[in-house]
Amino acid sequence: MTNIFEQALTKVNSDFPSVYSKEDVAKIITDLRIAADKQEANRKEITGDDVCRMAEEIKRWVMEAASDTNFEDYVSLELNPYQNMIDVNFDNRRLLDEIEDALDQAIESAIEA
């Protein structure tokens, strides 16, 4: 929609004199209306079924990503001999980044479908 207005402004700046008549303004508005109607006609309507299908697709992608993930890669164990303890470190930032990537892929795939 923004592109339509930018094109109209460019056309106004190049086609019309600096002082507009009523006819000039009416023509600009008519051209904008026609362009907006064309763009609206090309829009795909999203139904509730489409949203449910996309949600299921996203859920499937995330579950696949989770099942393919080796969580051992995110955990490190260190023996602390001075305190007779095992330190457990979990790299949650890396895991969250991969979850975000999986969600992005799932959303892109659902939108393309």
pLDDT at 99 over 70: yes
CB 80 within 8 A of CB 87: yes
Q: Find the mean pLDDT for residues 27-32.
A: 81
Q: How far is residue 79 from each of residues 71, 72, 75, 92, measured CA to CA in Å?
A: 20, 17, 13, 20
Calculate the CA 57 to chain-centre distance. 15
The per-residue pLDDT for 84 is 86
> Which of 39, 35, 36, 15 is closest to 25 using CA atoms?
15
| Residue 3 reports pLDDT greater than 70 | yes
Residue ranges with strand state E in 1-113: 75-80, 85-90
**Domain residue extents for the chain:** 2-42, 48-112
pLDDT for 74 beyond 70:
yes
Report whether 92 contacts 99 (CB < 8 A): no
Spatial distance between the Cα atoms of 21 and 24, rounded to a whole number of angstroms: 5
Residue with the bigger pLDDT between 16 and 61: it is: 61
